[in-house]
Structure 1
């Protein structure tokens, strides 16, 4: 069925888009809701959903079934769009992060909003999401673990690894 959907999408046939939405639409919406989960972000969900389907429609020619499944490819696109949307919402609404990261040797001014978001670009998409939830929205590690369906210890590991990676940007000798 996936091959048929991909073939139809590559031909820019709207039937392929309908079948794609029937097959993966629920998973995409769940992913969007998991990432854009705060009250001030809910109004952006439909916009993100439309952007995801449009991007998939545009980028289907770059899909390679040998590298990933259609679901994985689509959810990666969804996650990246939602993270971009979350960052733009933070900038647009001037949400101020906590003054500095705990256990951090970095100076406070690096954690002004724009600098903090620039630093996140050096992390993986999953680490970016966890950092945003923890440092911007001040979600607890338990809340993050529940939302992302992972162990609390994994959340702590992501935070620790991310802090180390950011520290390396400023002092490669660490």
Structure 2
């Protein structure tokens, strides 16, 4: 079935896209909902969903069945698009008109958040999501574990590994 869908998509047949959406659409939507879960992000879900299907339509020729299943490949694309959108939303929310900020607050808060986002960018996508939820949105490890369907101890492990990697990066820049 997957081979037929891939062949149809490569040939730009919309029947292949319909079959793809029937087969994987629910999983893609659940992934989007899991990552874009905060109230300020809900309005972006449909936009991301459309972007995911469009990107799959455009990039289907790069799919390699030897490397992964079609589901894994498409969910990886979905997760990356969602995380990119989440980063964009975070950056947009940090932009405050300069005339409303005291002079010293701008440098301290804004640049610290921008620096944090630059450091987080070097983590794995899963670690990025956990870091953003924990440090930016201040979700509890229990909430993160429930949302990502993992044990709380795994959340702590991801946070610990991420902190170590960020510390190593900071040490290299000093």
Q: TM-score, normalised by structure 1?
A: 0.89
Give yes or no for the alignment of 1:16 onto 2:30.
no
Structure 2 equivalent of residue 119 of structure 1: 119
For the 8 Å contact 1:36–1:45, the answer to whether it is kept is yes
Question: What is the root-mean-square deviation of aligned Cα atoms in Å?
Answer: 1.7
Between structure 1 and structure 2, the one with the greater Rg is 2
SS in structure 1 at match of 2:139: coil
For the 8 Å contact 1:110–1:116, the answer to whether it is kept is no
Alignment map for 1:24-173 (pairs within 5 Å) = 24-94=24-94, 112-172=112-172
Can you give the 5+ residue segments of structure 1 that lack an aligned partner in the other structure? 97-107
Q: What's the CA shift for 1:60?
A: 0.3
For the 8 Å contact 1:8–1:16, the answer to whether it is kept is yes
Q: How many corresponding residue pairs?
A: 161
Deviation string, structure 1 residues 121-141 (Cα, Å, up to 9, x no partner): 110000000000000100000
Q: What's the CA shift for 1:93?
A: 1.4
* Structure in which a larger fraction of residues adopt helix: 2
For the 8 Å contact 1:95–1:136, the answer to whether it is kept is no
Q: TM-score, normalised by structure 2?
A: 0.89
Q: Which aligned segments of 4 or more residues in structure 1 are displaced greater than 3 angstroms?
A: 108-111
SS in structure 1 at match of 2:169: helix
Can you give the 5+ residue segments of structure 2 that lack an aligned partner in the other structure? 97-107
Give me the whole-angstrom Cα distance separating, in 2, the residues matched to 1:32 and 1:119: 24
Deviation string, structure 1 residues 41-68 (Cα, Å, up to 9, x no partner): 0000000000000000000000000000
